[in-house]
Amino acid sequence: MITIRNAAPGDVPQILFFVKELAEFEREADKVVATEALLHEAMFGGDRPAAEAVIAEIDGEPVGMALFFHNFSTWTGWRGLYLEDLYVTPEARGAGVGTALLKHLAGVAVDRGCTRFEWAVLDWNVDAQKFYQSMGAVPLDDWRINRVTGDALAKLAGRS
């Protein structure tokens, strides 16, 4: 049986492991610089956590997670829920874990009054795209994600 529970501080090592596994799958393993200390501070430090996570378990064993945070839409004038990472172990894929995680987060979004639930998926990950569409997601093909990091971010901020 699949159970979904809120992550606790003791889950940070498992969350980081899942993040690294997902990055490996996405062919970006060298990009992960997060540490347990950074994730702990982001998720459990201070009054306003930057992110939250839920853990999926089968028979008490962690088999997946979803890491998420609130975003905001000026069009709706209200908050949304953004799924940063969805990960299911290879052994648990096809067992309904991803579906359970998405349904759980949809419930979180509804319970918190969010006006949207969204995430990004790599263009080559066709299986994930089909899965998300089967769950009711609509791809926004005419939108592109833009990102500035590292030295380029410092330069843009005028601090290089």
For residues 86 and 101, the answer to whether their CB atoms sit within 8 Å is yes
Residue type, 115: T
State CA 87 to chain mean position distance: 8
Closest CA to 85 of 38, 141, 25: 25
In sequence order, what are the residues at sequence separation of 6 or more whose Cβ sits closer than 8 angstroms to the Cβ of residue 85?
A: 18, 19, 22, 65, 66, 67
Percent composition of the chain: helix, strand, coil (DSSP 3-state, to 5): 40, 25, 35
For residues 49 and 86, the answer to whether their CB atoms sit within 8 Å is no
Active site residue 82: no
Q: Which of 18, 68, 82, 132 is catalytic?
A: 132
Q: Which residues participate in catalysis according to the annotation?
A: 132
